[in-house]
Chains A and B, each alone.
Chain A
Amino acid sequence: MALSGLGLVIYVIFHMLGNLQVFEGPLVFNGYAALLRDMPIPLWAARIGLLSLAALHIVLAIQLTSRNRQARPIAYAVREYRQASFASRTMATSGFVLLLFILFHLLHLTAGVIDPSSVDRPDVEGHRDVYGKVVHAFQNPFIVAFYLAGQLGLGLHLSHAVTSSLQTLGLEYVAFNRLFKAAGPTVALVVVLGNVAIILAIFLGLVRG
C-alpha cells in the first residue's frame, strides 16, 4: 500500500511540474509533450508501470478495507473521533473520487474521447498542439468544475497518504518526526496549488491560446 502509493505520489509531483510548463507558452509545452512522445519505449513502460501500480494500489486497498471491516463486525452506536484527521477518515471516499477523476482525465486529455470538439492539429513547429487542447478544455466551466473537484480529492488523499506511508515504512527519528508529520499536507498543498494554478490561469484567461 505504502510503496505503491509513494510511487504514485512521485508521479503526481512530476506530472504537476511538467504541466507547469504551460506557463512557458505553447512552444515549450508542446515541445515537452513531443519530447515524451519521441521516446515510445520509456513512455509506454512508464504508462504500463503507472497503470499497474495504480491497479495494485486499488486491489490492495480493497483487500485491506474488507479485512479491516471484518475486524469490527459490530459498529459503535456512538462514535467520536479525537485526533484522526478528516482526510484520514475519508481515504476510501477520496480514493474513489480520485479514481473517477483519473479515468475522466485519461479519457479526456489522453485519449480525447470526452470532448471531441477539441481539434487535434499541429502547431507551428509541427508538434501536436497539446497546449491548444488544454487551453480549449479549461475554458469549459463544467470541465473546470470537475477538475477542481478531482483536485480536492487528490489533496485530501495525499495529505494523509504521504505521512502515513512514511510511518508505515518506519521512518521515525525524534528530531525529524515533525517533518514527517508535515510532509503529507505539504506535498498535497504544493501539488494541488500547482495543478489548480494551471486550471484557473486558463479559465480566468491569464493563459491564452
Chain B
Amino acid sequence: MKFTLNIWRQKGPEERGRFVTYEARDVSSDMSFLEMLDSVNQGLIAKGEEPVAFEQDCREGICGSCSLVINGIPHGPDRGMTTCQLYMRRFPDGAVITIEPWRARAFPLIKDLVVDRRALDRIIQAGGYISVHTGGAVDGNVLLISKEQAETAMDAAACIGCGACVAACKNASPALFVGAKVSHLAFLPQGRPERTNRVKAMLEAVDREGFGSCGNQNECEAVCPKRISVRFIAILNREYLRAGVVESSLPAEPESPHAEST
C-alpha cells in the first residue's frame, strides 16, 4: 500500500510551522499507524534529515502518550481506541492522510506533533487526589462499596489522560478529563471528605491554564479512547453546584490542613 501524508512540521514553539507532504511506500496493511510513521522516519534519518517528532510509548492503548489528529479526528477514524491501536488496513490504498498535533492554548507545541500536556497534571495536582498518609489505612473491607458504585467509579477512572477530549472540543475544554476524575473520587466513600474543595480547586486550575469551557457538544465522548461518558461532565457540574451550596454553610476560614508543615 502507499499513502500521501500531510504532516505538520514545526521545529520549536517559537518557529513557524507548516504542512510537509511525505510519501509512505511499501506499507503493509498489518502495520500499525505508528509503525507506518516509524518507517517514514527511518527513511528520513537514513537521509540525515530530522524525523517527524511524535509521542508514543506503550503502544497498547493505555499510557495515553500518543496524540495525533488524523484527518480531523483525534486518534483517527475509529471509535474507542488510541492512535497506537490504529492499523493501516483501516485506510484505502493511496489515501491522503493529514496529521496534526493536539491544538489548544493550554497545550503549547514542543516540536512537530508533540505538545506539552502538563496542564492536565497541574489540574490533578490542584485536587485530584485523596490526601491520606501512607501506612494509616484501615482494612480494605471496612467500608463496603456496592458493586454498581465501584463499577461506575471504575468507568470514570479509566481515563488515560491523553487529552483527546481537549483536542476534539471546539472550545478546547477539559471537562471530560476533569469530570472523570471528580466523578471517580465522588463515587467512592474515601473521596467524599474532600469533594467540596476538590471540584472547586480543579475547576479553578482549568481556568488558570487557559482552557475553554464546555459547550456540551459531546465531541469529547465520541473521540475518547476509553469511551468515557459525558454523564461525568454532568456530575462534575453537579459537584460544583453542590460545592457552592455547601461552602456557603462552612465557617469562613477553615483551618489550613497543612498548618503544621508550613
Contacts and interface: CB of A to CB of B under 8 A. Distances in A.
> Would A and B touch once assembled, by the CB under 8 A criterion?
yes
Interface of A: 64, 67-68, 70-85, 88-89, 91, 160, 163-164, 166-172, 174, 177
B202 to A, nearest CB: 15
B222 interface: yes
A3 B230 CA distance: 20
B215 interface: yes
Contact of B216 (A70, A77, A88, A174): A88
Given A64-B213, A83-B222, A167-B237, A72 B72 contact: no
Interface string B53-90: 00000000000000001011100000100000000000
Contacts of A74: 103
Contact of B239 (A82, A89, A170): A170
A71 B72 contact: no
Interface stretch (B26-34, B132-140, B170-178, B189-197): B170-178
A170 B236 CA distance: 7
Given A67-B213, A76-B72, A89-B170, 14 more contacts: A70-B210, A71-B173, A71-B210, A79-B72, A80-B72, A84-B170, A88-B217, A88-B218, A163-B216, A167-B216, A170-B236, A170-B237, A170-B238, A171-B234
Contacts of A169: 237-238, 241
A87 to B, nearest CB: 10
Contacts of B112: none
Nearest to B240: A170
9 contacts: A71-B171, A72-B170, A77-B19, A79-B72, A83-B219, A164-B215, A164-B216, A167-B230, A167-B233
Interface in B74-114: 79, 98, 100, 103-106
A174 B212 CA distance: 27
A85 B217 contact: yes
The 6 closest A-B pairs by CB, nearest first: A170-B238, A71-B212, A172-B234, A83-B222, A80-B72, A68-B171
Contacts of B218: 83-84, 88
Given A167-B237, A170-B237, A75 B103 contact: yes
